[in-house]
């Protein structure tokens, strides 16, 4: 059975508010983190296409945006994931007009159920339908990373919050937007009854933020040895891709 957001959890809910840093004479920007509502889905997809695909560790290294088929397939995956109503957006308020808000960052979060005995079969069928070469390679990488992890044994979980990308527009770098998006998963998960969040973090910057936000590493993939179709998958990358998890605390420390 597909997971659904509980009806009693109002949408949009504001999960976090924070201020950025002062920059010269400019006062700190004010940010709100809330659900990605239906009216924001296309803006979110455009943001991810414009910023995430050209800056994320794996997709930037393989020139993902040049593969139009893979790009369109991933855009559709984002749209489908956001239909659950648990995606997160960081909005920055306009200092001159508080009613105007701009997207500063996004976390394309959704809930994955572990109770479905057909999960592996569905993943295989989904993978077979993929036409884009780079999307197929990227997805296979993520599947390989978590294939030996038993979330039920490790955490006693039947479902977890995961994501298809964390992105911050470059003009908002340095304000902690990515970190606060990761931290906003905690109140979101509490509200919708999910006690675990798990995500693949592909580069040192996002891995640092995840660790700071309380995630632990549960699986690792070495870029220097990982192969796809008999060839080194990511020859331009070094380091590791990490699968990281965080048990949602009952209350804040």
**Angle made by CA atoms 246, 250, 253, in degrees to the nearest 5:** 80
SS3 6: coil
Residue 121: which pLDDT band, with cuts at 50, 70 and 90?
Answer: low
Query: Are 122 and 63 in contact, with CB atoms under 8 Å apart?
Result: no
The partner residues of 102 in beta bridges, in order of sequence, read 92
CA 132 vs CA 48, 51, 66, 127: distances in Å: 18, 20, 11, 10
pLDDT value at 244 more than 60 = yes
Percent of the chain with pLDDT over 90: 84
Question: What pLDDT digit, counting tens, does each position of 60-87 carry?
Answer: 999 999 999 999 999 999 999 999 999 9
C-alpha closest to that of 239 among 63, 59, 58: 58
Instruction: Tell me the pTM.
Output: 0.94
CATH superfamily of 14-247: Gcn5-related N-acetyltransferase (GNAT) (3.40.630.30)
Q: What pLDDT is stored for residue 96 in this prediction?
A: 61
pLDDT of residue 191 exceeding 80, the answer is: yes
Instruction: Determine how β-strand 14-19 pairs with β-strand 30-35.
Output: antiparallel
Taking all residues of the chain, what is their mean pLDDT, rounded to a whole number? Answer: 93
- Every domain of the chain and the residues it spans: 14-247
């Amino acid at each position: 059975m597909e997971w659904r957001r509980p009806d009693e959890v109002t949408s949009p809910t504001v999960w976090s508010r924070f201020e950025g840093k002062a920059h010269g004479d400019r006062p700190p920007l004010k940010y709100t983190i809330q659900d990605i509502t239906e009216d924001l889905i296309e803006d979110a997809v455009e943001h991810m296409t414009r910023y995430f695909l050209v800056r994320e560790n794996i997709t930037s290294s393989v020139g993902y945006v040049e593969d139009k088929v893979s790009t369109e397939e991933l855009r559709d995956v984002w749209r489908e994931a956001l239909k659950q109503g648990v995606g997160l957006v960081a909005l920055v308020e306009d200092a001159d007009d508080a009613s105007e808000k701009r997207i500063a960052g996004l976390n394309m979060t959704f809930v994955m159920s572990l109770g479905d005995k057909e999960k592996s079969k569905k993943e295989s069928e989904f993978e077979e339908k993929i036409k884009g070469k780079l999307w197929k390679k990227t997805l296979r990488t993520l599947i390989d990373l978590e294939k030996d992890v038993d979330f039920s044994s490790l955490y006693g979980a039947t479902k977890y919050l995961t994501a298809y990308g964390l992105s911050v527009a470059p003009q908002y770098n340095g304000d902690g937007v990515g970190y606060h998006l990761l931290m906003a998963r905690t109140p979101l998960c509490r509200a919708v009854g999910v006690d675990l969040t798990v995500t693949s973090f592909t580069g040192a910057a996002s891995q640092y933020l995840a660790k700071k936000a309380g995630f632990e590493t549960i699986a690792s993939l070495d870029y220097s040895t990982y192969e796809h179709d008999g060839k080194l998958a990511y020859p331009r990358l070094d380091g590791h891709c990490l699968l990281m998890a965080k048990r949602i605390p009952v209350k804040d420390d």
